[in-house]
Amino acid sequence: MDRIDKILAQWNRERPDLDTTPMGLIGRLGNVAHHLGREMDRTFAQFGLNRATFDVLATLRRSGAPYALSPSDLMAAMMVTSGTMTNRIDQLEKAGLVARGTNPEDGRSFLVSLTEKGFALIDSAVAAHVETQARLVASLSEEERAALNALLGKYLADLETSALENSAAN
């Protein structure tokens, strides 16, 4: 029994007319996300990063050589506003982890690229991140991980489709 079971029992006692099953599922997903995020934040902090700066560096690293993207490509990959992206790029540039350079395809724009220091840092950080994630799912069998991954993938796809349909309707 987890703390969500206790909350559900209280609601069932107070409001037996309500089906609180979705509350339990969503509460557990939120609590799991909180615990996972906290552990991953600890890993990022070991490298002087936070979730946001890790995300920028990781997006550049996984983009492949030359490890450079336009700010609009970064914004699309990370789903953040231009102001947020500019702030993140500024922080990382001050730390010497990224550099702004002219876009060879469009001289009016620029590309953000990993510096050697940024490349080395993100390679170390992503290796530690993967180790943290492996530790966090180690209590589940391979079968359980595959089943959970498939269910969450389906659920997320449904939510994203609904979100797109809702935004198109508005």
For the stretch 107-162, pLDDT in tens is: 677 899 999 999 999 999 999 999 999 999 999 999 999 999 999 999 999 998 88
User: 73: how many CB neighbours lie within 10 A of its CB?
Assistant: 15
With residues binned 3-state (H G I as helix, E B as strand, rest as coil), the percentages for the chain, rounded to 5, are 70, 10, 20
Domain interval for residue 33 = 1-46
Same domain for 54 and 132, yes or no, is yes
Same domain for 89 and 126, yes or no, is yes
Same domain for 134 and 144, yes or no, is no
Q: If we measure between CA atoms, which residue out of 110, 73, 81 comes closest to residue 93?
A: 110
User: 82: how many CB neighbours lie within 10 A of its CB?
Assistant: 11
What is the rounded CA–CA span in Å between residue 6 and residue 11? 9
Backbone CA torsion sign across 43, 86, 65, 99: negative
For the stretch 67-93, pLDDT in tens is: 999 988 898 888 788 888 889 999 999
What is the rounded CA–CA span in Å between residue 45 and residue 37? 12
For residue 115, give the DSSP letter. -
Same domain for 61 and 103, yes or no, is yes
Same domain for 129 and 144, yes or no, is no
What is the number of structural domains in the chain? 3
∠ CA 62-67-95 to the nearest 5 degrees? 100
Same domain for 73 and 147, yes or no, is no
CATH number of the domain encompassing residue 131: 1.10.10.10
Same domain for 33 and 53, yes or no, is no
Taking 70 as the threshold, does the pLDDT of residue 41 lie above it?
yes
Q: Please report which confidence band the pLDDT of residue 170 belongs to, taking 50, 70 and 90 as the band edges.
A: low
Same domain for 53 and 121, yes or no, is yes
Same domain for 117 and 35, yes or no, is no
